[in-house]
Chain A
Amino acid sequence: MRAQKVFANRFTLCLVVVLSAIQSSAQVTFERLLNAGKEPQNWLTYSGDYSGRRFSLLDQINVKDVHSLVAKWAYQTGATGKLETSPLIVDGILYATAQDDRAFALDARTGRPIWMYQHQLPNDIRPCCGHVNRGLAILGDKVFLGTLDAHVIALDTKTGDVMWDAVAADYQKGYSFTVAPLAVKNLVVIGVSGGEYGVRGFIEAYDATTGERKWRFYTVPGPGEPGHETWEGDSWKVGGAPAWNTGTYDAATNQIFWPTGNPAPSNRGEGRAGDNLYSNSLLAVNADTGKMNWYFQFTKHDEHDWDATQVPVMIDSADNHWIAQANRNGFFYVLDRATGKLILANAYGKITWSDSKDAEGRPIAKKEASPTLEGHTVCPGALGTTNFMAPTYDPQTQLFYVTARDQCDIFSTAPQPYEAGHAYYGSAYFPSEEAEPYRGFLKAIDPATGKIKWKFEHTSPTWSGVLSTAGGLVFTGDAEGNFVALDATSGKTLWHFQMGGAVYAPPVAFAVDGKEYVAIAAGSAVYAFGLP
């Protein structure tokens, strides 16, 4: 009898061990990525799911109890500089990145590290704006990292060991990766950085299992390709149009929506006459082939460094399938996802570069907005009304929330010949002495009208992303180091915590053992918060 009971107990224990082993080793399949909404305890892509909404269905932390939120843990990455990472969370493990291409896995309940991978970077990399990285993608038993020396690397999810390492381009010519890749089907999709070095931009996809490149789409068309005629002479060869922020995926049409950045040189249009396709555009490309279905160019022939690399967000209602973007040029755009046709474009910040629209409703640049040798003031400034800060769309409030700034700069041209691997701006920008102080906001935009429903003013402009949750909350960080929860309907602040360092990253939400957490990077650490 006793032996039987012991056996039964042992059997139960074994079952639990086996079941939990199955649970913890359950790999992230494409099916799971497609249905990320069914497992809100996990955060499976850069934006949480393929829609780009950065919305969590978790509601344990909500408008009623958020006032009691406490810090659960902090993980010091040991890196200095800006942390722009958006963590992934899969079945209790948090995967994130830090400066200089460091990747790590933590116990998401405690913040204790499981593994750390440090990519060995050469000392002559060519980053644009800090040695930053915005996060990983996950598929199967691998996480994927794009590096500052233009490698795409697959790491084992359990150990951080390198599974494959593909060289995408020559970093000495200014190519680099800072973007969080996007895993689609069995592909790792990634876009290159380097618009400050006159690279020829591209979006490409690797076989997640082998690391073999499956397709590459050049965002600057070569001779004979449509759009090539929008470049003067040989300027296309160093045309820029990088693709340094994560796009989204629409399974219904099998399209990847990926945004592109500035033409090079960034602030000097002389020598590259034409629209400069497909810079500053949203591209819809076939996920299997990388062939472009449509494009929409937000800023033609850009001379202000207004990369259109903001996360494109899919918004669905009974009748409409939209894709929306709060653009760096100061306009909020809504497009039809099937065709790329413009539905609306409304200014959501201070702009002076356009005062008219074309027949399709697209803002037209004023001639006098072009930079001059002497320099003159244009709004927004070079850093834009928004930038890489991840926005969020809350299907409950039906509002789009974005970090915005009002800022104007003096733009001045400076002729600069192209030299491989050397900075290629062709200009300078600097704050006007007479300009008003820069102001930073969190703005809630109604995508149906483009109108601002409410705005919350930060003490100074922030680079934080935004998260919305089914708890009726919007989370964001500020330059003063606060992590803040606001009422998604009214914009009223409900809770805050001082993290001791400025925020350059977006928040995420997840749950372990039935307990909800929100996490965000600030200063050089990652923090997680939960109810007591």
Chain B
Amino acid sequence: MRSFFLRQCFVFLLLFLCWIPRSIADDRNPFANDPKAAKAGEYEFRINCALCHGLGAHGGGRGPDLTRAQKKHVHSDAEMFEVISNGIPGTIMPANGTNGQGVGMTDEEIWQIITYIRSVEVKATQASGNAAHGKELFYGDANCSLCHMVEGKGGRLGPELTGVGGSRTRAAIIDSVRNPSRRLAWGLAESTKEFPQEYETITVVTSDGKEIKGVALNEDNFSVQMMDASEQIHLLEKNNLRSFKKSRESMMPTYSADILSNKDLDDIVAFLTSVGAK
């Protein structure tokens, strides 16, 4: 009886010993800091990731900037491996091999991509702005919250910004404040449709002569669903309109340095970054 127990212990010990190195091996990037692997990873990145995350991992129209050392969904290499392998539920980040492009990347290639991403990461410079003051400005004098919501507080006309500090670079946020029309934000994405709706500006004149200006919630060739500055939703058939005009001039005012100083903008970015990092 006793010998049976000991034998069992031995078997367990053996299994345990076998399991430890294996689990460690799975968690560790075998190519960490290997410049050759980073180069291979750069090419794999271009092929598999750049469509959304941009050339050089700086973030494209769809995916976040991955050169930020602080990432929303991952911290360790193992977590990054997990996200690349399995995707992020509720986002458009697909699991490896499930985007209709065949069997996906091998483990080795995923580690190479991680090595590449680590090689281009830029440590966040100490947040220069004052987040507390940024919050005051956001909800106060800068008028951001008239149109943008953060953590359930604010307006509805513009994009919700709770997560923006976690997924966009500081440069991208600043650019969207200084040049809001340069690149319109994306709105509703329908499951089978190739392109999401953008925050285009719509101006219509109804059959009774009323002019309505607002942002497009959605649109097709025959109807438009829009929200005006007072957050009223208008559901309109284009046929019944006297005129319909669509513009890529954003409804968001251009915040030049005269209106919002670089320092105040830094504070607002610091606020958004502090919220987005949560």
For residue B236, give the distance in angstroms from its CB to the closest CB of chain A: 14
The residue from A128, A427, A459 contacting B47, defined by CB atoms under 8 A apart: A427
Residues of chain B within 8 A of A493, CB atoms compared: 221
**Is there a chain B Cβ closer than 8 Å to A197's Cβ?**
yes
**Is there a chain A Cβ closer than 8 Å to B152's Cβ?**
no
The reply to whether A502 and B100 contact each other, CB–CB distance below 8 Å, is no
Complex Cα distance, B190 from A498, in Å, reads 14
Q: Mark each residue of chain A from 184 to 202: 1 if its CB lies under 8 Å from any CB of chain B, else 0.
A: 0000000000001100000
Q: Of B49-57, B126-134, B249-257, B265-273, which binds chain A?
A: B49-57
The reply to whether A82 and B50 contact each other, CB–CB distance below 8 Å, is no
**Is there a chain A Cβ closer than 8 Å to B192's Cβ?**
yes
The residue from B100, B192, B194, B219 contacting A131, defined by CB atoms under 8 A apart: B100
The residue from A126, A414, A479 contacting B102, defined by CB atoms under 8 A apart: A126
| Contacting residues of chain A (121-175) with chain B, CB-CB under 8 angstroms | 124-131, 174
Q: Mark each residue of chain B from 229 to 251: 1 if its CB lies under 8 Å from any CB of chain A, else 0.
A: 00000000000000000001000
Residues of chain B within 8 A of A428, CB atoms compared: 46-47, 50-51, 55
| Contacting residues of chain B (91-142) with chain A, CB-CB under 8 angstroms | 100-103, 106
Residue of B nearest to A502 (CB): B192
| Contacting residues of chain A (456-507) with chain B, CB-CB under 8 angstroms | 458-461, 463, 478-482, 484, 493, 496, 498, 501-502
The reply to whether A430 and B60 contact each other, CB–CB distance below 8 Å, is yes
Question: Secondary structure of the A side of the interface?
Answer: loop
For residue B248, give the distance in angstroms from its CB to the closest CB of chain A: 8
Complex Cα distance, B43 from A220, in Å, reads 27
Residues of chain A within 8 A of B194, CB atoms compared: 460-461, 463, 479, 502
The reply to whether B195 and A430 contact each other, CB–CB distance below 8 Å, is no
Residues of chain B within 8 A of A81, CB atoms compared: 100
Residues of chain A within 8 A of B195, CB atoms compared: 438, 460-461, 479
The residue from A415, A421, A423, A484 contacting B221, defined by CB atoms under 8 A apart: A484
The reply to whether B193 and A479 contact each other, CB–CB distance below 8 Å, is yes
**Is there a chain B Cβ closer than 8 Å to A222's Cβ?**
no
**Is there a chain B Cβ closer than 8 Å to A523's Cβ?**
yes
The reply to whether A416 and B101 contact each other, CB–CB distance below 8 Å, is no
The reply to whether B220 and A459 contact each other, CB–CB distance below 8 Å, is yes
| Contacting residues of chain B (196-247) with chain A, CB-CB under 8 angstroms | 198, 219-222
The residue from B42, B54, B192 contacting A82, defined by CB atoms under 8 A apart: B192
Residues of chain B within 8 A of A410, CB atoms compared: 55
Residue of A nearest to B196 (CB): A460
Question: Secondary structure of the B side of the interface?
Answer: loop
Instruction: Give the number of residues in B that approach A within 8 Å (Cβ atoms).
Output: 29
**Is there a chain B Cβ closer than 8 Å to A281's Cβ?**
no
Q: If the complex has contacts A410-B55, A459-B221, A478-B221, are A415 and B43 also in contact, measured as CB distance less than 8 A?
A: yes
Residues of chain A within 8 A of B35, CB atoms compared: none
The reply to whether B55 and A496 contact each other, CB–CB distance below 8 Å, is no
Complex Cα distance, B206 from A20, in Å, reads 56
Q: If the complex has contacts A460-B195, A463-B194, are A423 and B101 also in contact, measured as CB distance less than 8 A?
A: yes
**Is there a chain B Cβ closer than 8 Å to A375's Cβ?**
yes
For residue A487, give the distance in angstroms from its CB to the closest CB of chain B: 15
For residue B119, give the distance in angstroms from its CB to the closest CB of chain A: 16
Complex Cα distance, B193 from A82, in Å, reads 10
Complex Cα distance, B191 from A11, in Å, reads 57
Complex Cα distance, B43 from A425, in Å, reads 11
Complex Cα distance, B219 from A437, in Å, reads 15
Residue of B nearest to A497 (CB): B222
**Is there a chain B Cβ closer than 8 Å to A274's Cβ?**
no
Residues of chain B within 8 A of A196, CB atoms compared: 101-102
Complex Cα distance, B195 from A330, in Å, reads 21
The reply to whether A423 and B47 contact each other, CB–CB distance below 8 Å, is yes
**Is there a chain B Cβ closer than 8 Å to A230's Cβ?**
no
The reply to whether B103 and A433 contact each other, CB–CB distance below 8 Å, is no
**Is there a chain A Cβ closer than 8 Å to B30's Cβ?**
no
The reply to whether B102 and A460 contact each other, CB–CB distance below 8 Å, is no
Residues of chain A within 8 A of B193, CB atoms compared: 460, 479-481, 502
Residues of chain A within 8 A of B101, CB atoms compared: 127-129, 196, 423
**Is there a chain B Cβ closer than 8 Å to A422's Cβ?**
yes
Complex Cα distance, B133 from A221, in Å, reads 70
**Is there a chain B Cβ closer than 8 Å to A227's Cβ?**
no
Residues of chain B within 8 A of A425, CB atoms compared: 47
Looking at B61, B183, B194, B248, the one whose CB has the most chain A CB atoms below 10 A away is B194
Q: If the complex has contacts A82-B192, A423-B47, A480-B193, are A437 and B221 also in contact, measured as CB distance less than 8 A?
A: no
7 contacts between A and B (CB under 8 A): A128-B102, A174-B102, A196-B101, A423-B101, A428-B50, A430-B51, A458-B221
Q: A128-B101, A430-B51 are in contact. List 17 more A-B contacts (CB 8 A).
A: A127-B102, A130-B100, A414-B42, A414-B46, A415-B43, A428-B47, A433-B183, A437-B198, A458-B221, A459-B219, A459-B220, A463-B194, A480-B220, A481-B193, A482-B222, A501-B191, A502-B194
Residues of B within 8 A of A (CB): 42-44, 46-47, 50-51, 54-55, 60-61, 100-103, 106, 183, 190-195, 198, 219-222, 248
Residues of A within 8 A of B (CB): 81-82, 124-131, 174, 196-197, 375, 410, 412, 414-416, 421-423, 425, 427-431, 433, 437-438, 458-461, 463, 478-482, 484, 493, 496, 498, 501-502, 523
